[in-house]
Amino acid sequence: MLPSPRNECRILGGAVRRIREAKSVTQDALATKAEIHFAYLSNIERGHKRPSLEVIARLANALEVDLDDISYMATVYVIADTEDAVA
């Protein structure tokens, strides 16, 4: 089953957050580098806002990862969130 639009935002935001935390980057530093407002980044990470592809690309660039890396992390998040996920 495909995730709802609300869940898509949560999944994408979770992927950005996980990559950011893995790189030990603060929200403030990432927002500044990606040239977006800190509050907007916070809302993206919490799944409350749906960023444009341009913003996702700027976040990926600021995190020094490919868009594929964000997509991959989002996929991992979905798989881990399913009932059939294996530890």
Rounded distance between C-alpha atoms, residue 70 and residue 1, angstroms: 21
Rounded Cα distance between 43 and 65, Å, is 21
| pTM listed for this prediction | 0.82
When divided into structural domains, the chain yields a total of 1
* pLDDT tens track for 64-73: 999 999 988 8
Q: Is residue 10 part of a domain?
A: yes
39-87 pLDDT, tens per residue? Answer: 999 999 999 999 999 999 999 999 999 999 998 888 886 776 654 544 4
Question: Is residue 86 domain-resident?
Answer: no
In a domain, 37, yes or no: yes
Tell me how crowded residue 27 is: count the other CB atoms within 10 A of its CB: 17
Is 87 part of any domain?
A: no
pLDDT at 85: 45
CATH of the domain at 74: 1.10.260.40
Range of the domain at 66: 5-80
